[in-house]
Amino acid sequence: MRDKNIGRWTAGLLFASAALAADLPDGVHPTIATDLYQEWVETDNATYAGMIIGFALLAIFWFYTLGSLINDEIKRHKKYDKEIEDKIAMMPDLGLDKQELDEKFIALKNKKKGDDDLD
């Protein structure tokens, strides 16, 4: 219930702000504060330089984060593959046959698949 009200409230605010902006005189723009307007201020080159630097740093952080996530997944997959290889190597010591277990797994999988077809 609360989420619906927030969505409606936000949509109402957006509509109201668009309607207000349409009625403003030239050269004036609304600010966040209620019933407060200020004259448009021309920006200088330092402002644009700050924006460019800010967006460039944001892009660098995004790519760093994405690279870290990919690197972590690669390490995790390598670790998992090594653990699987180690467990398969331990199977003969435990008296287990990999081929026999694979066949049992496939038979159970096919049986389960057949049960799903009945639904």
- Report the pLDDT value the prediction gives residue 104, as an integer from 0 to 100: 87
The tens digit of pLDDT for each residue in 60-97 reads 999 999 999 999 999 999 999 999 899 888 888 888 88
Task: With 0.95 as the threshold, say if the pTM is over it.
Answer: no
> Is pLDDT above 60 for 22?
no
Q: How is 33-102 classified by DSSP, letter by letter?
A: STT-EEE-----HHHHHHHHHHHHHHHHHHHHHHHHHHHHHHHHHHHHHHHHHHHHHHTGGGT--HHHHH
Model pLDDT, residue 1 = 46
**pLDDT computed for residue 42 by the predictor:** 73
Q: 37-41, 92-96, 97-101 — which is least confidently predicted?
A: 37-41
